[in-house]
């Protein structure tokens, strides 16, 4: 399996992370990509540089005002003269009967769901590069590759049409799915990150052509807390094309594979032409965010379960944070996929 990657992700190096009132260094660091690259090397995957696709694929998913905000935010922030080293909102307005702000501080709050997506001088460039990585991987599958892997950083599945959050700015998995829709009538996004793919769900919630499935730690006691429950099934034309499978905190391999079987049956009923895997590796028993307890052999079983769906597949990297086992878990899931294909 070929893997798409660019070193441009390094321009995004966030520092701020607020955890239960305590400021810590974020777990979404450039070193994540280094450990994932080692996993690709150990799996003998060929690395491919991305093609630059420009704004078009991003504009299929994100609103014009949001893309303008992200592209101009850092210059407007530094022009204040007394701003901090990263952009972190201090207002997050409930949008009922609200007016879109013109001041950069107001825009920052409007376009961020939480404090976990600090914007720095290189964030926009890195986020754009990540979308090129995802779209390149999708295009390779459209051109005949059976499966590809996109090493996207920053990740994307918490980003809504016009809001950043949870380390995410542009929704790479959604953008890959929208690109695949140029060829396929129906596409599925299966999110195996430990966190619910709330941004992805929000983007496609009323659409019948993209089926969003998320297996994740139960949000009753885990981020994002207010999205990701089993009763959230879509709305309007999209009713029935959103499936959430929340798992009890600490669920291990067998429970996870049972959830994968539920997901597989639902996906087969939808009869898609292609599959996007929002590949979080943070369901690991060793991940610092401690939600689920999947082992390295368990990730191999997840890869095998994905392969048995028999669809053209784009793996898009989402979460998976600093642990000694991160690269091995990537090697394991891709090896499981390849051996069961």
Residues 157, 158, 196, 286: which is the catalytic one?
Answer: 158
DSSP states along 140-163: HHHTT-SEEEE--SS--TT--SS-
Which residue, among 147, 152, 187, 185, has the nearest Cα to 171 in the 3D structure? 152
- The C-alpha torsion from 180 through 182 and 186 to 192, rounded to 10°, is 20
In sequence order, the 6+-apart residues with CB closer than 8 A to the CB of 144 are none
Half-sphere exposure of 229 (CA within 13 A, CB side): 7
Segment (H or E) for 270: helix 253-270
N-term to C-term CA, the chain: 11
Q: Is 157 a catalytic residue?
A: no
CB 321 within 8 A of CB 25: no
Q: What are phi and psi of 19, to 5 degrees?
A: -125, 105
**Within the chain, what is the greatest distance between any pair of CA atoms?**
57
Residues designated as active site: 158
């Amino acid at each position: 399996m070929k893997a798409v990657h660019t070193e441009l992700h390094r321009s995004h190096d966030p520092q701020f992370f607020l955890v239960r009132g305590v400021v810590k260094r974020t777990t979404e660091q450039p070193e994540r990509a280094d450990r994932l690259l080692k996993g690709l090397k150990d799996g003998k995957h060929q690395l491919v540089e991305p093609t630059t696709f420009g704004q078009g694929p991003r504009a299929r998913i994100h609103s014009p005002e949001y893309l303008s905000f992200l592209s101009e935010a850092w210059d407007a922030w530094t022009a204040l003269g007394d701003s901090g080293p990263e952009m972190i909102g201090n207002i997050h307005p409930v949008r009922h009967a609200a007016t879109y702000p013109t001041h950069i501080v107001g825009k920052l709050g409007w376009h961020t769901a939480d404090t976990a997506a600090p914007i720095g001088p290189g964030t926009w460039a890195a986020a754009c590069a990540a979308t090129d990585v995802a779209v390149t991987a999708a295009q390779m599958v459209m051109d005949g590759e059976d499966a590809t892997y996109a090493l996207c950083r920053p990740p994307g599945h918490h980003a809504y049409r016009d809001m950043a959050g949870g380390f995410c700015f542009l929704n790479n998995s959604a953008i890959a799915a929208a690109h695949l829709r140029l060829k396929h009538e129906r596409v599925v996004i299966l999110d195996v990150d430990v966190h619910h793919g709330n941004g992805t769900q929000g983007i496609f919630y009323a659409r019948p052509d993209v089926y969003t499935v998320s297996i994740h730690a139960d949000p009753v006691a885990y981020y994002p807390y207010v999205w990701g429950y089993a009763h959230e099934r879509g709305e309007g034309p999209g009713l029935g094309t959103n499936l959430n499978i929340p798992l009890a905190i600490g669920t291990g391999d067998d429970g996870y594979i049972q959830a994968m079987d539920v997901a597989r049956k639902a996906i087969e009923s939808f009869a898609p032409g292609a599959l996007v895997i929002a590949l979080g590796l943070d369901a690991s028993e060793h991940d610092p965010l401690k939600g689920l307890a999947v082992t390295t052999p368990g990730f191999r079983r997840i890869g095998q379960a994905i392969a048995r769906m028999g669809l053209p597949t784009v793996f898009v990297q989402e979460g998976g944070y600093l642990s000694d086992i991160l690269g091995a878990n990537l090697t394991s899931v891709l090896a499981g996929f390849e051996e069961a294909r």
